[in-house]
Amino acid sequence: MASTEGCGGENQPKFNKYAVACAIVASMISIIFGYDTGVMSGAMIFIKDDLKIHDTQVEILAGILNICALVGSLLAGRTSDYIGRRYTIAVACAIFMIGSILMGYGPNYAVLMAGRCTAGVGVGFALMIAPVYSAEVSSPSSRGFLTSLPELGISIGILLGYISNVTFGKLTLKIGWRLMLGLAAVPSVILGIGIARMPESPRWLVMQGRLGEAKKILLLVSNSKEEAEARFRDIKVAAGIDVNCKDDHIKLPKETHGEGVWKELLLRPTPAVRWILIAAIGIHFFEHAVGIEAVVLYSPRIFKKAGITGKEKLLLATVGVGLTKFTFIFISTFLIDRVGRRRLLLTSTTGIIASLTVLGSCLTIVEYHNGGKLLWALSMSIISTYVFVAFFNIGLAPVTWVYSSEIFPLKLRAQGYSIGVAVNRLMNAIISMSFISLYKAITIGGAFFLFGGVAVIGWLFFYFLFPETKGRSLEEMESLFSKGVWAKNESVEIQPRNNSV
Read off the pLDDT of each residue in 116-121 and give the average, rounded to a whole number: 91
**Could you tell me which residue, 54 or 464, shows the higher pLDDT?**
464
pLDDT in tens, 13-43: 467 888 988 888 888 888 888 888 778 877 8
Q: Are 80 and 92 in contact (CB under 8 A)?
A: no
Please report, as a single letter, which amino acid is at residue 406: E
Span of 140-154, 448-462, 475-489 with lowest mean pLDDT = 475-489
Closest CA to 364 of 416, 442, 289: 442
Average confidence (pLDDT) over 345-371:
88
Closest CA to 26 of 152, 114, 158: 152
Check residue 253 and give its pLDDT.
64
The secondary structure of 339-351 as a DSSP string is T-HHHHHHHHHHH
What gap in Å lies between CA 344 and CA 322, rounded to an integer? 21
Evaluate if residue 359 carries a pLDDT over 70: yes
Question: Top-level CATH class of 254-482?
Answer: mainly alpha
Find residue 493's DSSP bridge partners. 2
Calculate mean pLDDT across residues 469-473: 86
The C-alpha atoms of residue 277 and residue 414 are separated, in whole angstroms, by 12
Fold (CATH) for 16-252: Growth Hormone; Chain: A; (1.20.1250)
pLDDT of 375 reads 79
Q: What is the DSSP letter of 396?
A: I
Furthest-apart CA atoms within the chain: distance in Å: 76
- In this prediction, residue 96 has a pLDDT band, given cuts at 50, 70 and 90, of confident
The pTM of the full predicted model, rounded to 2 decimals, is 0.77
d(CA 382, CA 364): 14
Once rounded to an integer, what is the mean pLDDT over residues 412-432? 87
Weakest-pLDDT range from 147-156, 273-282, 291-300, 436-445: 291-300
Could you give the residue ranges of the DSSP H alpha helices within 392-412? 397-406
Q: Where in the chain is the domain with CATH 1.20.1250.20?
A: 16-252, 254-482
* Residue 2 β-bridge partners: 493
pLDDT of residue 372: 56
Percent of the chain with pLDDT over 90: 25
Contacts of 236 (CB under 8 A, 6+ apart): 206, 211, 242, 243, 245
Mean pLDDT value across residues 245-258: 68
- Cα gap 239→374, rounded to integer Å: 62
Range with the poorest average pLDDT among 3-12, 356-365, 472-481: 3-12
- Which pLDDT does position 351 carry in this prediction? 97
pLDDT of residue 11: 44
The count of residues in the chain is 501
Closest CA to 358 of 457, 449, 459: 449
Give pLDDT, residue 484: 65
pLDDT at 498: 52
Candidate from 319-323, 373-377, 405-409 with smallest mean pLDDT: 373-377
**Residue 436, CA distances (Å) to 58, 67, 342 in order:** 9, 18, 33
Give the per-residue pLDDT at 445: 87
What is the Cα gyration radius of the chain?
23
What mean pLDDT comes out for the span 370-393?
Answer: 83
d(CA 417, CA 74): 9
Query: Which has more pLDDT, 255 or 335?
Result: 335
Q: What are phi and psi of 425, to 5 degrees?
A: -70, -35
Distance CA 292, CA 306 (A): 17
Give per-residue pLDDT as tens, 160-183. 888 888 888 888 878 888 888 888
CA 395 → CA 76, 117, 140, 390, 392, distances in Å? 26, 30, 19, 9, 6
Residue type, 447: A
